[in-house]
Amino acid sequence: MPDDAPQTNETQPRGELTVRILAMPADANAAGDIFGGWVMSQMDLAAGIRGAERARGRVVTMAVNTLVFRRPVHVGDTLCVYTRLEKVGRTSITLAIEAWARRYLTMERVKVTEGTFVMVALDDDAQPTPVPPDPLAAPPIA
């Protein structure tokens, strides 16, 4: 995808910085850009970290509902993955994930990929288990 690909107006990431990693030559495709699968795997790692924190236990990826590659990631860029909780169901957690590239040796930052990941909480027998209440949430109004 060319660098002049359509871009959203967003100038700031939304969510919590969860993963930050340098894109290396071994992660590049034949065209010299970073493989989309590598970017997606970093996003999945971030979803797993944030999901496990919220579930206070093991989670697995159940679905990637959307995944949009907006701009290429180049060798030397720092990939920053941000996570935002969208919805907590009985056993599932839906996360909005944004991947931003900090361009090599500059302060320029661009959104490169975004998606929606659904994680499921698992018990010790690898069966779906309820997500516990959020300890930081306000108590229900009686």
**C-alpha 120, offset from chain centre:** 15
Domain ranges, ordered by start, for the chain: 16-121
- The tens digit of pLDDT for each residue in 48-73 reads 999 999 999 999 999 999 999 999 99
Pick the CATH number of 16-121 from 3.10.129.10, 3.40.50.11540, 3.40.50.300, 3.40.718.10: 3.10.129.10
Full-model pTM: 0.89
User: Residue 9 — pLDDT band, cuts 50, 70, 90?
Assistant: low
- The tens digit of pLDDT for each residue in 86-123 reads 999 999 999 999 999 999 999 899 999 999 999 999 99
Q: What is the pLDDT of residue 131?
A: 97
**C-alpha 81, offset from chain centre:** 5
